[in-house]
Amino acid sequence: METDYNPMEFSTNPAFEEDSECKDIEGTDVKDMRLEAEAVVNDVLFAVSNMFVSKNLHCAEDVAYINVETRERNRYCLELTEAGLRVVGYAFDQADDGLQMPYHETVYSLLDSLSPAYREAFGNALLQRLEALKRDGQS
């Protein structure tokens, strides 16, 4: 009787590694929100002092946590869910269940509300991109 079982699959699958950041079962979407969080970080890292997905707070199928330090040196812990992003703490890796902050649909909206320096950096980057497009269009 033939099977599709390959014993090497289990030894190389990070879901089964002892130190895996998100313990999950193969085939589930546990890492999807973490991947979404990584994309959020990569999208706006240029406009903040520091930003990274938390490795200390528990990630789950429906939630990931992002630590961000604005250019004003304010630190926040953000929660990312299907509902959007919101501040859940005022320090890295701190999630206060009692903190009732509104959800933002985008990281841009959230950071715009928290950091004037983010708003300026984002605007400058947008302006530079538009100027580059204009130059490319005139070539």
Domains of the chain listed by start with CATH number: 33-137 (3.30.2280.10)
Please report the sign of the dihedral spanned by the C-alpha atoms of residue 23, residue 25, residue 26, residue 31. Answer: negative
The set of residues, in sequence order, having a beta carbon less than 8 Å from that of 87 and lying 6+ positions away, is 76, 77, 78, 79, 99, 101, 110, 114
Look up the pTM and report it.
0.73
Give 12 or 120, the one with higher predicted confidence.
120
Contact assessment for residue 77 and residue 94, using Cβ atoms and an 8 Å cutoff? yes
Which of 15-19, 22-26, 35-39, 127-131 is the least confident region?
A: 15-19
Cβ atoms of 46 and 121 closer than 8 Å: yes
Which residues does 102 contact at the CB level (< 8 Å), separation at least 6?
A: 86
pLDDT at residue number 71 = 97
Residue 14: predicted pLDDT: 37
Two structure tokens written together for 52:
């990274």
Res. 61 pLDDT band, cuts 50 70 90: confident
Q: In the prediction, which pLDDT does 31 show?
A: 52
